[in-house]
Amino acid sequence: MTDEEVRAKFPDRLCSYDLFKKMGSPRHIVAPMVDQSELAWRILSKRYGATLCYTPMFHAKMFSDDNPKYRNEQWQTNEEDRPVIVQFCANDPEYLLKAARLVVGQADAVDLNLGCPQHIAKRGHYGSFLMEDWDLISKLIRNLHENLEIPVTAKIRVFPEVEKTVAYAKMVEAAGAQIITVHGRLREQKGHKTGLADWDKIKAVKEAVKVPVFANGNILYYEDIQRCIDATNVDGVMSAETNLYNPAIFSGKVLPTWQMAEEYLEICDEIPTKSSFIRAHLFKLFRYSLPIHTDLRQQLAAARTMEEIHRFVNDIKARLIEDSQKEDAQKFDLENIEVDEFGYRKYPHWICQPALRFEHDKVHSQSKRLLNEAKVSEKHSETKDVPLSLDAKANEEDCNKRPKLDSK
């Protein structure tokens, strides 16, 4: 089918920048994250500056099954959810189309996952493990482009060679993808080998294609968003892991972890959410506090009901407020945030902050530093009433103190 025939078949379907503008020209995007970018989390993120969210990656074959159990467990939406893009992994064009048709009228577009690097994706032959099968990728996207009432988009990873990365992106565009998200890491960059995303490759893709491009990778702080846009000229910036540890990343606010947890649970009280999803979010939000309050870590792990989960949040909130009022904590100043020897901000453990990886230096890791500081703080038992003015924006000048992430 020619492009003219496709346009004639779907005269009202939005393409490229028309789609982008209809969704509000989103610059702040929450990534698709398995079991973690569920409806309640998407709503929380949008309250704090996210302008577009992706659903978790859904398995197209399971989603399209006649038995709706998987679909009903995974897919939720409401009026607060738009704009939203539903992401699928697939290796069969017909199963993908069947699944995609089930969200027409509820989503702004359907996205094909071409970036998942996990072993399960290798075993199932989807995600980034389709990167060598350009013919199949083209068929998957083209079948949606020619037969689906809403647009198709794609999320890709990069190759070692910039030329191959650009050719790959242009193939995805030619197949019919109306927006391309580029995760600037190789398929092998995962887990302890994650490393830095390559903004230069993202920039090269942006310069080569005509559709909107979103960048994914290297976003730790609010100021990194504009840095990424300046470096790559992309249309929007996506956050994955950092959003999980700091759902207010797109607002620029520096907030206490318990505030985010309480607001998230209020949403979950209204929108039924699997307890396993909730616990996973809370383990990330309180990542730097749980090694200090180890008894509460066990309490969270054992929590199954909303009552038990609320009790955990109330208990850890009381502990963290007490921690924040100790003498050492008074040194924390939003207007003059210190940085460590690596150039990263030294937030106290009760502040939402990115998960920093220091596989090369276990002694100076963020978790180790905060745990050591907590032990020192225990020597000062006297507490003082200190007002917590945490709604102010982080000092924008601090971005200049931290060494710029090398985009290579």
Catalytic positions are 116
Q: Strands of 275-358 (E only): list them.
A: none
Burial class, 62, CB count within 10 angstroms (exposed 0-12 / middle 13-18 / buried 19+): middle
Cα separation, 407 vs 121, whole angstroms = 27
Q: How do 84-89 and 180-183 pair as beta strands?
A: unpaired
Q: How do 52-59 and 109-114 pair as beta strands?
A: unpaired
Closest CA to 213 of 227, 186, 233: 233
CA 338 to chain centre: 26
Cα separation, 17 vs 403, whole angstroms = 34
- DSSP assigned state of 150: S
Name the H helices within 176-305: 199-208, 222-232, 241-245, 257-270, 275-285, 294-302
Which residues lie closer than 8 Å to 398 by C-beta, 6 or more apart?
Answer: 221, 223, 337, 339, 345
Look at residue 39 and give its three-state secondary structure: helix
Closest CA to 178 of 128, 94, 111, 132: 111
**Bridge partner residues of 109 (DSSP):** 85
CA 91 to chain centre: 24
